[in-house]
Amino acid sequence: MKRILFSAFLSATFLMACGGPSTETVVDEVEVVTENEWISLFDGETFTGWKKFGGDEVGAAWKVQDGAIYLDATNKKDWQTADGGDIVTVDEFDNFHFQVEWKISKDGNSGIMFFVQDNGEYAYPWMTGPEMQVLDNDGHPDAKIRTHRAGDLYDLIESSEEMAKPVGDWNLAEIIAKDGNLELHLNGTMVVSTTMWTPEWEEMIANSKFKDMPGFGKYKKGRISLQDHGDEVWFRNIRIKQL
């Protein structure tokens, strides 16, 4: 939160019958608190502020290309990429407004996870962090499953509207989390709205693929993660505002 200090000066001239002097009154310093500011999470040139999930330096398959974070998925390893893996922010966040632009390759799959725990207890970010899906809706087979399409809260809530752009186009994704209230926005439209950590939230998880993951959707503070799902994907203009 940015704070600005300034001194206000108030001048008052008192006219006396005999022409008395003017008097200047100085008001004490006043602290003005501005709204929280956007914090850049990617400088367009380096991986400062990011690390490999469960490790240190970001894997070599992740590259900086034309001002974007790019996953070079040339060398597959199982369902991910050799020397890739999911990456996470060094910092953790609780109440926030997160923005990122993404584009996906043909038939590609990726995701943006939040409230991720990277403490050695969990093997993957998706064992703790809910995910906003990144997908080629026109080509990837996951698009046939409700709640698995671009913009969905993955395997939990489907988007209210189809807002994803075609392969090769940039999409603006926003995640807003404040005191349990969660909104997902895609290309300027709110597509998901829900409340976390309620009995209804727990029931939704119990009916999902995450039902046997005791840490999923439980944490109220954590890292942001970009997913390596073995396909080329690009992310740029990544920033966050603490709420």
Per-residue pLDDT of the chain (243 residues; tens, 9 = 90+): 443 333 333 333 333 344 444 434 333 443 343 457 999 999 999 999 999 999 999 999 999 999 999 999 999 899 999 999 999 999 999 999 999 999 999 999 999 999 999 999 999 999 999 999 999 999 999 999 999 999 999 999 999 999 999 999 999 999 999 999 999 999 999 999 999 999 999 999 999 999 999 999 999 999 999 999 999 999 999 999 999
Burial of residue 46, with CB atoms counted within 10 A of its CB: 0-12 exposed, 13-18 middle, 19 or more buried: exposed
Q: List C-alpha distances in Å: 198 to 91, 116, 204.
A: 26, 19, 10
Token match 């046939």: residue?
A: 144
- Distance between CA 130 and CA 243 in Å, rounded? 19
Q: Determine how many CB atoms are found less than 10 A away from the CB of residue 37.
A: 10
Nearest to 174 by CA among 184, 189, 163: 184
Beta bridge partners of 71: 62, 233
pLDDT of residue 5: 37
Q: Note the pLDDT of residue 35.
A: 56
Residues carrying CATH 2.60.120.560, the chain: 39-242
Q: 207-239 burial string, b = 16+ CB within 10 Å, else e? A: ebebeebeebbebeebbbbbbbbbbbbbbbbbe
**What kind of fold does domain 39-242 have according to CATH?**
Jelly Rolls (2.60.120)
Task: Output the pLDDT for position 36.
Answer: 77
pLDDT value at residue 100: 98
pLDDT score recorded for residue 12: 39
pTM (2 d.p.)? 0.85
- Give 144: exposed, middle or buried? Use CB within 10 Å, 0-12, 13-18, 19+: exposed
| Torsion angle of C-alpha atoms 67, 139, 209, 216, degrees rounded to 10 | 10
